[in-house]
Amino acid sequence: MRTFISVQRMPSWMLLLLFVSAVVPILIIFGVGYNEYTLYRETGEISPELEEMLQALVIILITYISIYFVLFLPPLKVRINHEGIHYFCFPYLRKGKSISWQEIKNVEIVHVNPLGDFGGWGYRATWKGNKGYILKSGPAIKIERKASDKTMTLTINQAEQAQRVLNHYLQKQEAQ
């Protein structure tokens, strides 16, 4: 049995952007609250302004840590085997989804530009009703189902290996 597996995460430049967007407000809060902090060091008393500053820092940290765990940590997993094409991407999907070979009208490897084709990264839907799990620019599997003219696009790694496995199972499907 042939199996193709692709696991990928959001691009690292997006993680850097998240880090920078978290550091800027933290530095602003530290800059604004520096006098309150030095007053605290001298007197040992926490002023209401310093307390608000600390609350804002905690809220910012919790928000950015949550964004990291929800958007950047979970991978998109794509598996192609004798049963069909399977994909899983938490938190967008709580359970993995499968598309059997009998449901598939056409499958092809395409090149995806997240902004140009889907308007961004993550789980995306176009105005035409096509959907996709888009985590990077590059190769993707575009699946067209027999039941509808809508497509599902899943970004992958190793396009050549995926194409070989797809060809193997599509030829088997045509022979039946």
Domains: count for the chain: 2
On the question of pLDDT at 139 being above 90, the answer is yes
**Residue 1 pLDDT level (bands cut at 50, 70, 90):** low
Least confident of 1-5, 39-43, 90-94, 140-144: 90-94
Domain membership flag for residue 50: yes
Q: Are both 66 and 99 inside the same structural domain?
A: no
Least confident of 8-17, 75-84, 107-116, 128-137: 8-17
Torsion of CA 52, 53, 55, 58, to 10 degrees: 170
One DSSP character per residue, the chain reads ---EEEEE---HHHHHHHHHHHHHHHHHHHHHHHHHHHHHHHH----HHHHHHHHHHHHHHHHHHHHIIIIISSPEEEEEETTEEEEE-TTT-SS-EEEEGGGEEEEEEEEE-IIIIISSSEEEE-TTS-EEEE-SSEEEEEEEESS-S-EEEEE-S-HHHHHHHHHHHHHHHHH-
Average pLDDT over residues 82-94: 87
Q: Go through the chain and tell me how many residues it has.
A: 176
pLDDT at position 129 is 84
Task: Tell me which residue range forms the domain holding 30.
Answer: 10-72
- How high is the pLDDT of residue 175? 72
Inside any domain, residue 3? no
Q: Are residues 165 and 88 in the same domain?
A: yes
